[in-house]
């Protein structure tokens, strides 16, 4: 085989591959490779054809735009072709672009219009006598698809233009789906069990190509106009920027980020500026477009076969790339959530090298049919955690491995649990699992739990990082000699902390239950459990049916409690806490409790003899209900100093107000206040 024949085979194979991607991208709206990979294929073909110009054919992808239009729509012949743009990927290519223009025009200074390169679907809107009569997609640049009825459903597209406009005015623009609308729409799709869009560009294209305009009308689409097609009378403008302002006056939406810049330095500064704010923009962009501003100079520059010589698209680093899944690991978060993470073949995307991507949960893995060994499209936008967009199933090897989350925690071997209707799977070894220890200790020490004064989040982090504590039991074994070695921890502070820890040993069963951090067991549920069972051993051995006999405990919470105490590790930690001296008084049901069971109290102001939480706890121990606002159903308002407006409201409603002395009497003799 000759060298020419070998080159011809290579070029033809490359053309066929690009044609297939054109069909997937433009016709089916279902690309299976990211834009950066498509750009590489096009550049390779362009380079090969440059080396072998005798092999260039009229139907080569380099000689036209896009692919054939959909047969389901009427075809529209563009009176002025809708051309594509050449791409630049670095500063040197922008400098080269500017230099070519200056040499061709024999000028030293060129002004450009700089605008975001919107990631949507290019369309042409035709107005006659100021009325919208037709809208067509780009198609192959010569012939597009008639999507008039669908475009009319987009609120940002004016059906009638303002002011005196040419009899025929054809404008070009980009239909896109804003980020907020895209996220909301995808959430609705997933909730309904329907397929989600891969990205806003696919969402816009798929929405515009619906045969039923009612479906398009439900999609949050928008449009920005960026240029002209056919026009029956020239507008009195000399620059492209002036043209956009006139179109804006006609009522056509124009992107607000458009600027006039000078020479390549101005272009590159704009590119940098827009790149920095890219993630904050309400729509997706994949680069910047630079156009010679002077219309007369545009005409002098002219066109090549598929693009104007006077414009170029400067692409941003890819948000999407291709890579392979080497393996899938499971991470356990601080709240016990198990998250599958894909280990990737390293790939440069969004300005950084990515080796991992979150897979969120098992439902997401199943929905996208992600397997170990798959080739996938990876996306990274700004600081967003890299995510897998979709699997390139055409590149799936014969032997791939499906993945399922483990039934036991990979960190501590405790049971894992998934609530009905939830996607998240959680480890139930909260007191033991090393992945959850910091959060478990912070919760245990909090004011409404064991109330260890001075042991805040930062100090927990410090103690943990210094390897002085690994779980809640270690709090009761802290030596003062090690504490005073910590930064900003003197002997006095260390002594105060140890005293607070010692004080926490004397608590209530309700506070202890809450401190354990059992999922969905809050203060109210912990108190209900304590009052119902009256002892910890009774709670630890209770089955689901028995647990659900407690007010405030349903089947889900009962399952959390039962599973928590089934873990040997959790039981061991509880036993060690009790052995360390944690204790509480036995719960005795008194006749006084029965006396206040149906009474409602409101606390206001400052009590001198106790804190508000303590006062609340004492009332609840006696059976009272404590609320935050005064109503006609309130029985008593307890008023300390500086009580505020609640006293006035109580008096207005005829609710009895007790001062602190009367409150203390109520606590001692509740039966007298029935």
Beta-carbon neighbour count of residue 435 at 10 Å? Answer: 22
Q: Which residues contact 299 (CB under 8 A, 6 or more apart)?
A: none
Structure tokens at 459: 């100090």
Q: Which residues contact 616 (CB under 8 A, 6 or more apart)?
A: 603, 626
By annotation, the residues acting in catalysis are: 117
Structure tokens at 662: 């009367």
Long-range CB pairs of 478-485 (<8 Å, 24+ gap) are none
434 three-class SS: helix
Sign of CA dihedral 651, 655, 659, 660: negative
Please state, in angstroms and rounded to a whole number, the distance separating the CA atoms of residues 69 and 84: 16
Please state, in angstroms and rounded to a whole number, the distance separating the CA atoms of residues 537 and 176: 61
The greatest distance separating any two alpha carbons of the chain, rounded to the nearest whole angstrom, comes to: 111
Do residues 378 and 405 touch, judged by C-beta distance below 8 A?
A: no
Structure tokens at 643: 């009580």
Q: Which residues contact 671 (CB under 8 A, 6 or more apart)?
A: 591, 592, 595
DSSP letters spanning 361-385: -HHHHHHHT--BT-EEEEE--TTSP
Do residues 353 and 342 touch, judged by C-beta distance below 8 A?
A: no
Please state, in angstroms and rounded to a whole number, the distance separating the CA atoms of residues 555 and 524: 16
Do residues 134 and 177 touch, judged by C-beta distance below 8 A?
A: no
321 three-class SS: strand
Sign of CA dihedral 178, 179, 185, 186: positive
């Amino acid at each position: 085989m000759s060298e020419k024949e070998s080159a011809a085979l290579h070029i033809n194979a490359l053309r066929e591959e690009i044609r297939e991607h054109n069909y997937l991208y433009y016709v089916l709206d279902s690309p299976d490779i990211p834009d950066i990979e498509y750009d590489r294929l096009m550049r390779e073909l362009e380079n090969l054809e440059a080396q072998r110009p005798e092999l260039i054919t009229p139907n080569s992808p380099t000689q036209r735009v896009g692919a054939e239009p959909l047969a389901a729509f009427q075809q529209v012949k563009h009176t002025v072709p809708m051309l594509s743009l050449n791409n630049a990927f670095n500063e040197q290519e922008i400098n080269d672009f500017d230099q070519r223009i200056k040499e061709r025009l024999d000028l030293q200074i060129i002004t450009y219009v700089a605008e975001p390169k919107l990631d949507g679907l290019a369309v042409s809107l035709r107005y006659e006598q100021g009325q919208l009569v037709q809208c067509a997609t780009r198609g192959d640049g010569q012939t597009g698809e008639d999507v008039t009825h669908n475009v009319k459903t987009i609120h940002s597209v004016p059906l009638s233009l303002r002011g005196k406009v040419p009899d025929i005015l054809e404008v070009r623009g980009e239909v896109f789906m804003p980020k907020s609308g895209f996220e909301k729409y995808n959430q609705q799709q997933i909730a309904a069990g329907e397929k989600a869009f891969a990205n806003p560009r696919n969402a816009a294209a798929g929405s515009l190509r619906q045969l039923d305009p009612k479906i398009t009308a439900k999609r949050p689409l928008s449009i920005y106009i960026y240029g002209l097609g056919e026009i029956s009378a020239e507008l009195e403008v000399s620059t492209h920027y002036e043209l956009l302002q006139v179109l804006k006056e006609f009522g056509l939406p124009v992107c607000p980020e458009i600027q006039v810049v000078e020479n390549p330095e101005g272009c590159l500064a704009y590119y940098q500026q827009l790149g920095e704010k890219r993630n904050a923009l309400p729509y997706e962009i994949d680069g910047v477009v630079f156009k010679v501003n002077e219309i007369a100079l545009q005409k002098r520059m002219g066109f090549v076969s598929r693009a104007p010589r006077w414009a170029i698209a400067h692409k941003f680093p890819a948000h999407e790339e291709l890579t392979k899944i080497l393996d899938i690991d499971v991470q356990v978060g601080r709240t016990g959530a198990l998250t599958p993470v894909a280990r990737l073949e390293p790939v440069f995307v969004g300005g950084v090298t990515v080796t991992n991507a979150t897979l969120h949960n098992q439902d997401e893995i199943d929905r996208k049919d992600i397997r170990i060994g798959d080739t996938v499209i990876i996306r990274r936008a700004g600081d967003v955690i890299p995510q897998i967009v979709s699997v390139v199933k055409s590149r799936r090897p014969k032997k791939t491995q499906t993945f399922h989350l483990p039934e036991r925690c990979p960190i501590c071997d405790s049971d894992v649990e998934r609530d009905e209707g939830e996607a998240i799977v959680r480890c139930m070894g909260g007191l033991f699992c090393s992945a959850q220890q910091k959060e478990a200790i912070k919760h245990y020490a909090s004011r409404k739990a064991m109330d260890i004064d001075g042991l805040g989040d930062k100090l927990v982090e410090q103690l943990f990082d210094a390897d002085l504590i690994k779980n809640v039991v270690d709090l009761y074994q802290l030596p003062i000699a090690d504490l005073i070695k910590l930064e900003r921890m003197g002997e006095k502070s260390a002594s105060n902390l140890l005293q607070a820890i010692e004080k926490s040993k004397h608590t209530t069963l309700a506070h202890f239950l809450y401190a354990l951090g059992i999922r969905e067991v809050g203060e109210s549920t912990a108190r209900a459990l304590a009052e119902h069972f009256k002892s910890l051993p009774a709670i630890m051995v209770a089955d689901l049916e028995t647990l659900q006999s407690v007010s405030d405990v349903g089947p889900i919470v009962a399952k959390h409690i039962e599973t928590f105490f089934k873990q040997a590790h959790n039981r061991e930690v509880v036993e060690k806490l009790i052995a360390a001296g944690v204790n509480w008084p036995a719960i005795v049901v008194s006749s006084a409790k029965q006396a206040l069971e149906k009474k409602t109290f409101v606390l206001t102001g400052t009590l001198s003899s106790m804190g508000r939480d303590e006062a609340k706890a004492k009332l609840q121990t006696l059976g009272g209900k404590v609320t935050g606002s005064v109503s006609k159903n309130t029985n008593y308002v307890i008023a300390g100093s500086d009580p505020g407006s609640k006293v006035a409201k109580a008096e207005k409603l005829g609710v009895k107000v007790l001062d602190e002395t009367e409150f203390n009497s109520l606590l001692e003799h509740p039966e007298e206040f029935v």
